[in-house]
């Protein structure tokens, strides 16, 4: 029996990349998964792929910037699955920085924060009463943060949103714990997703800076999410778990300069 047999799960931004890998992993361990994405066709394609592998998945278009859409997605999951036990906040927005910080636009800053941080807040707010009602204190929220929320890797608005998401994880964990719901965050390093199409040379160059010698795969992140969402992590809440190939503990360029390498 899989770790998520009988669980109802909602994953945002799950039409591709990390979100799709998370949905596939949890469905593979027995969960009923609602695959949500801003692009409904992409969500349906991801859900169909899960069903082809023998998993249970439905798809629904959902804009996490829209409170009504979020509440409808949560209600849909509860209606279809009879329960909502796990929420995975993966939807995000990331605009490139302008060359000069002062040239940044208010609308792109607001969009990145609204989708990445406030979107997760909307989803958690809608889902929490149902997660608290889950049997055996198995309700869990796992959000996808980033090493950008821990250290400077560029992208001002995105990094600020991810840092805020880590803060929300801690405060919400304290609030939700007496209600039987755990709240944690996974902070990936560079992950090879479709978003890197056409920039593979950058990925190859980045790999050399990672102590483990490669960039991540969506499946690496999905494995960590599955752990934190499962009863294997029943005594873990409020943490940020870096899944980053060691990049946060390595300053290889500076180390090389100091050691004359």
Question: Residue 240: what pLDDT?
Answer: 98
**pLDDT below 50 — which residues of the chain?**
none
Taking Cα atoms as reference points, which of 122, 92, 86 lies closest to residue 225? 86
Q: How many CB atoms lie within 10 A of CB 103?
A: 8
Predicted confidence at residue 258, as pLDDT, reads 58
Please give the share of the chain, as a percent, with pLDDT higher than 70.
97
Residue keyed to tokens 């500076």: 254
| Cα–Cα distance for residue pair 15/89, rounded to 1 Å | 13
- Of the residues 7, 121, 158, 210, only one is catalytic, namely 158
Question: Which pLDDT value is given to residue 257?
Answer: 64
d(CA 94, CA 157): 7
Of the candidates 69, 31, 36, the residue with the CA atom closest to the CA atom of residue 53: 31
Three-state DSSP at 191 gives: strand
**Catalytic status, residue 158:** yes
pLDDT given for residue 196 in this prediction: 86
Give 133-188 pLDDT, tens digit per residue: 999 999 999 999 999 999 999 999 999 999 999 999 999 999 999 999 999 999 99
pLDDT of 195 reads: 84
CATH number corresponding to 8-259: 3.40.50.720
> What pLDDT, on the 0 to 100 scale, is given for residue 181?
98
Q: What stretches of 29-155 show up as alpha helix (H) in DSSP?
A: 40-52, 67-81, 106-113, 119-132
The per-residue pLDDT for 254 is 61
């Amino acid at each position: 029996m899989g770790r998520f047999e009988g669980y109802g799960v909602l994953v945002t931004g799950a039409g591709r990349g990390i979100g799709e890998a998370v949905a596939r992993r949890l469905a593979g361990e027995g969960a009923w998964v609602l695959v949500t994405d801003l692009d409904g066709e992409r969500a349906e394609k991801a859900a169909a792929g899960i069903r082809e592998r023998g998993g249970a998945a439905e798809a629904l278009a959902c804009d996490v910037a829209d409170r009504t859409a979020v509440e409808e997605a949560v209600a849909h999951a509860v209606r279809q699955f009879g329960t909502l036990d796990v929420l995975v906040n993966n939807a995000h927005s990331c605009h490139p920085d302008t060359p000069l910080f002062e040239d940044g636009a208010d609308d792109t800053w607001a969009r990145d924060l609204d989708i990445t941080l406030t979107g997760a807040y909307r989803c958690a707010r809608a889902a929490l009463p149902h997660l608290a009602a889950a049997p055996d204190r198995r309700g869990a929220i796992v959000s996808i943060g980033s090493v950008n929320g821990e250290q400077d890797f560029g992208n001002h608005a995105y990094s600020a949103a991810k840092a805020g998401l880590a803060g929300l994880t801690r405060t919400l964990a304290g609030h939700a714990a007496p209600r039987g719901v755990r709240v944690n965050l996974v902070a990936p390093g560079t992950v090879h997703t479709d978003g890197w199409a056409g920039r593979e040379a950058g990925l190859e160059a980045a790999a050399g800076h990672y102590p483990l010698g490669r960039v991540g795969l969506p499946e690496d992140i999905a494995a960590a999410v599955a752990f934190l969402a499962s009863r294997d992590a029943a005594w873990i809440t409020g943490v940020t778990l870096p899944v980053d190939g060691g990049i946060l503990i390595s300053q290889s360029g500076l180390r090389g300069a100091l050691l004359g390498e």
